[in-house]
């Protein structure tokens, strides 16, 4: 059979399979990310039926998936909202870093992965999944709750922290010198500062450059600008993902809303490919030896995220029930954790056990997060009734 024919058949089977998995995830009320990862594990290296004819397409498609994930994340925020969220949540953000990055760093140290592995694992366990959390809050009708702005403020801080963290990680993985690493961080901070100033003062002009009344032209402009900025950022060793995120921040108003609406299907498609590719490149036989570490990290970082949300909500004067909901909402990990692990493993700086550990960890947390958000309120109410005199009467 012709090589192109094989590639088309395999690619068609992958897309159709992703559609089935996405539908299944929707029916049982969880994020599709764990199912996409499992699908990749089943048909990757060491899986049931390895797919070998789609590597050229999936490698590039997965990179586009990361760019679109970060672009649409940036489109969710205006520069003013970012600044307000940063002022409101910086203390909670610092607590979040300490409580949730430390467990991953310690596991990287214990497993002998050195400073690079420690830095990467710290990012894997630190960053919550904005996509999963936003969907869960919407599904549960909690977007108007008093604690939701607190949750979103913590997520904003995490996104800004990633804009600094990813260039540092990229520089370390590239093996640049200390001076080169400082240069990469300096370029990233300068880019963030410039984008925020431009977005605050001249955001309408940036939006006008990509805007168009014609949907086809508009889509081509936005997507082209995103890939162009991502490529230039990568050339500067800042990170393609950060470049896309900053472009999203600079686009505002109705242009951002239209871009989000038009790009969401593309993002979902290419992001699904990204998660599948990560699974394809992970050997399932490497997961059992690190499963215990994944479970331990899941337990510890669930508690630390709950503590982060609880403390942040309490500082804003929110009641006990809202504190519990805020903590549970932050539990889920997903796309960013896989992005960090993918960057690290593909560089060859850490052995493939990290991919297996990150996959197992995200599988657990992407399921546990939505479940925790759903059950925390009835559990908290039952506990309160049991402890109160009225409840015991």
pLDDT (tens digit per residue) in 241-292: 777 877 887 887 788 889 888 888 888 888 888 778 777 777 778 888 999 9
Residue 391 is predicted with a pLDDT of 44
CA angle 161, 68, 10 (to 5 degrees): 130
User: Residues near 153 by Cβ (< 8 Å), separated by ≥ 6?
Assistant: 85, 88, 89, 92, 312
Mean per-residue pLDDT of the chain: 81
Asked if the structure places residue 392 within a domain, the reply is no
Quote the number of domains for the chain.
1
Asked if the structure places residue 169 within a domain, the reply is yes
CATH number of the domain encompassing residue 101: 1.20.1530.20
DSSP 233: H
Asked if the structure places residue 13 within a domain, the reply is no
Can you give the pTM of this predicted structure? 0.74
Residue 236 is predicted with a pLDDT of 66
**What is d(CA 314, CA 309) in angstroms, rounded to the nearest whole number?**
8
Asked if the structure places residue 188 within a domain, the reply is yes
pLDDT (tens digit per residue) in 194-243: 766 776 677 677 788 888 889 899 999 999 988 988 888 777 666 677 77
Asked if the structure places residue 57 within a domain, the reply is no
Asked if the structure places residue 251 within a domain, the reply is yes
CB-based burial, 50-63: b 16+ in 10 Å, e otherwise: ebebbeeebeebbb
Using the Cα atoms of residue 346, residue 350, residue 353 and residue 354 in order, give the sign of their dihedral: negative
Asked if the structure places residue 151 within a domain, the reply is yes
Structural domain containing residue 341: 32-49+80-380
Instruction: Please report which confidence band the pLDDT of residue 305 belongs to, taking 50, 70 and 90 as the band edges.
Output: very high
pLDDT (tens digit per residue) in 81-140: 666 766 777 888 899 999 999 999 999 999 998 888 999 999 999 999 877 787 777 777
Asked if the structure places residue 58 within a domain, the reply is no
């Amino acid at each position: 059979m012709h090589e192109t024919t094989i590639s088309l058949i395999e690619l068609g089977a992958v897309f159709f399979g992703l559609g089935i998995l996405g539908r299944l995830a929707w029916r049982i009320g969880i994020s599709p990310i764990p199912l996409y990862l499992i699908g990749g594990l089943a048909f990757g290296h060491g899986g049931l039926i390895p797919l070998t004819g789609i590597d050229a397409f999936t490698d590039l498609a997965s990179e586009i998936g990361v760019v679109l994930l970060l672009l649409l994340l940036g489109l969710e925020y205006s520069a003013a909202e970012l600044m307000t969220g940063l002022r409101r949540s910086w203390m909670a953000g610092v607590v979040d870093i300490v409580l949730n990055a430390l467990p991953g760093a310690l596991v990287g140290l214990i497993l002998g992965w050195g400073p690079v592995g420690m830095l990467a694992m710290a990012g894997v366990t630190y960053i919550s999944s904005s996509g999963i959390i936003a969907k869960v809050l919407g599904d549960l009708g909690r977007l108007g709750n008093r604690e939701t702005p607190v949750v979103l403020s913590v997520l904003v801080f995490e996104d800004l922290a990633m804009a600094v963290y990813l260039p540092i990680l990229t520089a370390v993985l590239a093996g640049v010198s200390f001076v080169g690493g400082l240069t990469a961080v300096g370029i990233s901070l300068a880019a963030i500062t410039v984008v925020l100033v431009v977005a605050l003062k001249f955001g309408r002009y940036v939006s006008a450059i990509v805007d168009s009344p014609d949907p086809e032209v508009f889509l081509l402009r936005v997507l082209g600008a995103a890939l162009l900025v991502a490529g230039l950022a990568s050339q500067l060793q800042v990170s393609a993902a950060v470049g896309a995120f900053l472009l999203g921040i600079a686009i505002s108003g109705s242009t951002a809303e239209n871009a989000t609406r038009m790009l969401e299907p593309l993002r979902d498609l290419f992001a699904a490919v990204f998660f599948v590719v990560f699974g394809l490149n992970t050997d399932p036989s490497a997961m059992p030896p690190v499963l215990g570490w994944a479970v331990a990290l899941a337990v510890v970082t669930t508690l630390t995220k709950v503590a982060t949300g609880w403390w942040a909500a309490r500082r804003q004067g929110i009641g006990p029930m809202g504190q519990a909901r805020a903590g549970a909402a932050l539990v889920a990990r997903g796309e960013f954790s896989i992005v960090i692990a993918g960057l690290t493993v593909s560089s060859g700086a850490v052995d493939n056990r990290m991919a297996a550990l990150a996959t197992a960890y995200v599988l657990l947390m992407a399921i546990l997060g939505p479940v925790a958000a759903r059950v925390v309120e009835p559990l908290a109410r039952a506990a309160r009734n049991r402890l109160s005199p009225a409840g015991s009467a």
